[in-house]
């Protein structure tokens, strides 16, 4: 059991690191000002992520040796690179992962540098540096409408462990390489825009738009992953919650069998037990339906959304956790709450984050103080009605110095925290033209609330 847990923690740790790396790369892609600077920061981020010891990018040259020339690098092993000769041609120096990746257009990896014959020209130097496995990923992005954007370059990574690049890692780095290819093309387009005329400018803009779309998609995937992680954390208490109606169903069904076996069956009792079975079945089913909805990859289309319903959707998921910590929950839902336009799943996710944070903030305070209020109110302003949802807790609270950092990505004070909950929640609410903010309570704890414009 503890071994299983260790393995789980390790996977989770790796996923967290990868998410963090991906997030930083996405930011670098968007902020890049020049091609060399972009390639360098991608290498630096990958090495800082801890999964690889050396990262470099090589460009294909059209000289006689068909050289692959390093243009950016980070990590330990710079002199390894200085001496390394690699080619994209068919000769011996082109039969390693770099050459294969360039010629095939697909990632090529070596699980064990000690034994893989394709790596023999570089083996001694690589082993001396402590590299055990490596991968070369071509900087190519495929696009249905225009074919491939191929930079004729590879991103090359070296790890200290054998078989460091499994199926998930390959998928992760291939996706990253595609984003880099787009971003570089956009930068080149941008440069051309400064130099030449309108056509190039238009193309550059299209490339940039494409990069922005990729970024948006990465954001959505990040939101999805954190949603799944949160649900994973809740799994144990939710399972317990579902077990209760299931146990009751078992007991009632047994009683029915017993009554039916009698000479003169007590049909009234049977009917009553069956009604209870139906009710318990629905209760368990409802929780499962809500979990399913939150686990779906895509968010749903925007539509009229009633926030009281969103609150009711989420409470059964956090309810068990609230009870487990002996927290008293008060609800105050205004009856005249205006409807808002929104993506129900995303709004559920925001509320789930706020509620989980409130529960987590109260774990460390004495049980008598554990009180939480969920409040929904209407506010009629000059620009129309607004709906406000607040989660108030009596937990550890935050200091004035912490306040500006709460919504920063990866800011966390929890040992197992990712620090993405509030940052994602804020971007969701911003996207809904609303506002999410935090205030310290006058006595204990904090209040996190969001306001959304109501439908006229």
Ligand X SMILES: Nc1ncnc2c1ncn2[C@@H]1O[C@H](COP(=O)(O)OP(=O)(O)OP(=O)(O)O)[C@@H](O)[C@H]1O
Alpha-carbon distance of 228 to 294, in angstroms, equals 8
* Exposure on the CB side of residue 106, measured as CA atoms within 13 A: 4
Q: Is 237 in the site for Mg ion (CB under 5 A)?
A: no
* Closest residue to ligand X, based on beta-carbon distance: 421
Q: Pick one of Mg ion, ligand X, none as the site partner of residue 259 (Cβ within 5 to 8 A by kind).
A: none
Judged by CB under 6 A, the stretch of 18-26, 56-64, 112-120, 419-427 that binds ligand X is 419-427
Q: Which residues inside 374-413 make contact with ligand X, applying CB under 6 A?
A: 393, 395-398, 406, 411-413
Q: Pick one of Mg ion, ligand X, none as the site partner of residue 393 (Cβ within 5 to 8 A by kind).
A: ligand X
Smallest distance, Å, CB 24 to ligand X?
Answer: 16
Q: What is the DSSP string of 243-295?
A: HHHHHHHHHHHHHHHHHHTSSS--HHHHHHHHHHHHHHHHHHHHHHHHHHHHH
Binding mask 328-357 for Mg ion (x = CB under 5 A): -----------------------------x
Q: Pick one of ligand X, Mg ion, none as the site partner of residue 55 (Cβ within 5 to 8 A by kind).
A: none
Q: How many residues bind ligand X (CB under 6 A)?
A: 23
Rg (CA), the chain: 28
The residue among 108 and 446 lying less far from ligand X, judged by its C-beta, is 446
The residue among 319 and 417 lying less far from ligand X, judged by its C-beta, is 417
User: What SS3 class is residue 351?
Assistant: helix
- How many of the other CB atoms lie within 10 Å of CB of 442? 6
Judged by CB under 5 A, the stretch of 64-72, 268-276, 415-423, 438-446 that binds Mg ion is 415-423
The residue among 110 and 294 lying less far from ligand X, judged by its C-beta, is 294
| Of the candidates 290, 160, 213, 223, the residue with the CA atom closest to the CA atom of residue 430 | 223
Q: Pick one of ligand X, Mg ion, none as the site partner of residue 420 (Cβ within 5 to 8 A by kind).
A: ligand X
Report CA-CA distances (Å) from 411 to 197, 334, 355, 416: 44, 33, 18, 12
Q: Is 419 in the site for ligand X (CB under 6 A)?
A: yes
- How many of the other CB atoms lie within 10 Å of CB of 105? 12
**What kind and span of H or E run contains 207?**
helix 198-260
Alpha-carbon distance of 390 to 284, in angstroms, equals 28
Judged by CB under 5 A, the stretch of 177-185, 271-279, 362-370, 421-429 that binds Mg ion is 421-429
Provide long-range contacts, Cβ within 8 A and 24+ apart, for 4-11. none
User: What SS3 class is residue 101?
Assistant: helix
Alpha-carbon distance of 227 to 428, in angstroms, equals 13
Q: Is 287 in the site for ligand X (CB under 6 A)?
A: no
- Per CB under 5 A, the list member of 75, 77, 97, 421 interacting with Mg ion is 421
Q: Which residues inside 106-135 make contact with ligand X, applying CB under 6 A?
A: none
Which residues contact Mg ion (rule: CB under 5 A)?
Answer: 357, 421
What residues make contact with ligand X under the rule CB under 6 A?
353, 357-358, 361, 393, 395-398, 406, 411-414, 417-423, 446, 448
């Amino acid at each position: 059991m503890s071994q299983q847990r260790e393995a789980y923690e390790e996977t989770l740790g790796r996923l967290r690191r990868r998410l963090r790396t991906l997030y930083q790369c996405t930011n670098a892609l968007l902020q890049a000002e020049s091609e060399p600077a972009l390639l360098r920061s991608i290498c630096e981020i990958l090495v800082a992520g801890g999964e690889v010891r050396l990262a470099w990018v090589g460009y294909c040259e059209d000289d006689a040796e068909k050289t692959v020339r390093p243009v950016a690098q980070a990590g330990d092993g710079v002199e390894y690179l200085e001496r390394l000769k690699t080619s994209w041609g068919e000769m011996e120096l082109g039969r390693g992962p770099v050459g294969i990746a360039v010629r095939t257009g697909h990632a090529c990896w070596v699980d064990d540098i000690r034994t893989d014959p394709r790596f023999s020209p570089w083996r001694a130097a690589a082993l001396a540096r402590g590299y055990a496995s490596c991968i070369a990923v071509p900087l190519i992005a495929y696009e249905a409408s225009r074919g491939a954007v191929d930079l004729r370059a590879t991103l090359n990574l070296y790890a200290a462990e054998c078989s460091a690049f499994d199926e998930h890692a390959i998928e992760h780095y291939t996706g990253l390489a595609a984003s880099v290819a787009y971003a570089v093309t956009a930068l080149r387009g941008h440069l051309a825009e400064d130099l030449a005329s309108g056509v190039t400018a238009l193309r550059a803009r299209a490339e940039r738009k494409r990069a922005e779309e990729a970024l948006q998609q990465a954001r959505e995937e990040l939101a999805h992953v954190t949603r799944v992680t949160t649900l994973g954390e809740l799994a144990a208490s939710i399972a317990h919650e579902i077990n209760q109606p299931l146990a009751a169903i078992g007991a009632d069904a047994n009683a029915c069998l017993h009554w039916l076996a009698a000479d003169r069956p007590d049909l009234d009792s049977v009917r009553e037990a069956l009604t209870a079975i139906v009710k318990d079945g629905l209760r368990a089913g409802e929780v499962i339906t809500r979990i399913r909805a939150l686990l779906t990859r895509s968010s749903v289309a925007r539509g009229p959304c009633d926030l009281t319903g969103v609150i009711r959707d989420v409470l059964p998921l956090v309810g068990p956790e609230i009870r487990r910590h002996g927290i008293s929950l008060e609800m105050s839902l205004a009856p005249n709450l205006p409807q808002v336009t929104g993506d129900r799943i995303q709004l559920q996710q925001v509320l789930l984050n706020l509620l989980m944070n409130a529960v987590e903030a109260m774990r460390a305070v004495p049980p008598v103080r554990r009180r939480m209020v969920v409040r929904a109110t209407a506010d009629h302003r000059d620009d129309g009605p607004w709906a406000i949802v607040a989660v108030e807790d009596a937990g550890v609270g935050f200091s004035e110095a912490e306040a500006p950092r709460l919504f920063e990505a990866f800011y966390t004070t929890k040992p197992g925290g990712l620090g993405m909950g509030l940052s994602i929640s804020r971007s969701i609410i911003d996207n809904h033209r609303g506002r999410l903010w935090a205030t310290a309570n006058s006595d204990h704890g904090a209040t996190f609330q969001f306001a959304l414009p109501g439908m006229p």
